[in-house]
Amino acid sequence: MNGDWLLRGRDGRLSVYQLSGDAVLCRAEREPGGPWTAPRTVGGDQKLHPVLAVGQGSDGYAHLVSWRPTVKGESGLVHSTHFRPRLAALDWNPLGHPQKKGDRTGTPAVAVDAQGRAHVFVPDGQGGVRLLAQKEKGGWAAWRDLKGGENVRDGLAAVTGESGRVELYAAVPDGIRHWRQEEAGAEPVLTESLRTPVRPGTLYALATSADSTTLFYTDPDGDLCAWRPGGKPVTLLPSAGSGPVSAVRCELDGHDCTLLAQRSASGRVAFAAYPTELESAGAWWTESGPRLPVDATVSLATDQDGRVVAATLSPSTGQLLLTRRKSEPGLALEAWRQV
């Protein structure tokens, strides 16, 4: 999965999205902080490949993108919008193929601009990146080739800045490429190329100030790094595990902080927090919860009261675990519980 799969809807309820065979399932709180519903299939009975990208707009709507099999040896992208966690999502809508036809070309990524328009990015199978964006008055514009990407690796990171403009990060053999919209509705353009070693599949982007987004990635030595375009990358701390981190901005003891979470090498969830955009302050990991299956991932969000919520999900077992920050100083968490 690509993107945050734990979301807070516009009605304050939390929801999670998970892959299950050839379908996507959703679970949601019946009321904020209350019990959860049983898993429900998203988007009707369309059979999907086991891939999912999730993005959310400032309106709280979730946008889901996956690949579906079409004819033998070929696939096409599909999109669904989920307006509220307790409501049924829209049926899967075909988006076509970045090369008109063919098999899957890579894992998509989704970001939603301030006007609520979804932007779907996907490797094009020829080393570049293609974009499909919703139009202001409905429907989708034509596929666009984002220039400047060569030998782009799978694992794109799409993000919407506080400005409401969409950005994209991609790993390439010699570093990272960054595209950004210069104005609302415009095509993202390549703004910077960073030469740095990057471990593929470890990119995660977060809006961290009015003018900046921060990319987190792991280098080949296993160190977790942070980079904001226009500056130099900073080594933050050794990675707790091998997969990408999840991150969320939150208030801790009156301070604007960035909280990171990752499944650690020991199998537990590791947390690290530091003042937002102040990597020089340092950060260190603290582990929490039980040991998890090797395929478990972690996602972070805040609830309607602004409290941090962390969830872990294992595709092989379907086990969903959840914890929240306690109402006390520091980052004390409630006991993990199975949902």
pLDDT digits (tens, 9 = 90+) for 272-315: 999 999 999 999 999 999 999 999 999 999 999 999 999 999 98
CB 208 within 8 A of CB 276: yes
| DSSP annotation of 84 | S
CB 338 within 8 A of CB 41: no
Q: What is the mean pLDDT of residues 69-97?
A: 95
Chain centroid to Cα 234, Å, comes to 21
What pLDDT was estimated at residue 291? Answer: 96
Q: Which residues contact 30 (CB under 8 A, 6 or more apart)?
A: 13, 36, 37, 86
Q: Is pLDDT of 147 > 90? A: no
Residue-wise pLDDT for 20-67, tens only, equals 999 999 999 999 999 999 999 999 999 999 999 999 999 999 999 999
Provide the residue ranges of all domains of the chain, joining segments of one domain with +. 242-339
What pLDDT was estimated at residue 173? Answer: 94
CB 262 within 8 A of CB 239: yes
Chain centroid to Cα 220, Å, comes to 22
Distance CA 135, CA 117 (A): 7
Residue-wise pLDDT for 200-237, tens only, equals 899 999 999 999 999 999 999 999 999 999 999 999 99
Nearest alpha-carbon partner for 4 in 44, 64, 59:
64
What pLDDT was estimated at residue 137? Answer: 82
Q: What is the mean pLDDT of residues 120-124?
A: 97
pLDDT band of residue 85 (cuts 50, 70, 90) is: confident
Average pLDDT taken over every residue of the chain: 95
> Phi first, then psi: what are they for 331, rounded to 5°?
-110, 50
- Of the ranges 132-136, 148-152, 170-174, 263-267, which one carries the lowest mean pLDDT score? 148-152
User: 69: part of which helix (H) or strand (E)?
Assistant: strand 62-69
What pLDDT was estimated at residue 244? Answer: 85
Cα angle: 131, vertex 133, 135; to 5 degrees: 155
Q: Which residues contact 285 (CB under 8 A, 6 or more apart)?
A: 237, 240, 262, 264, 270, 271, 272
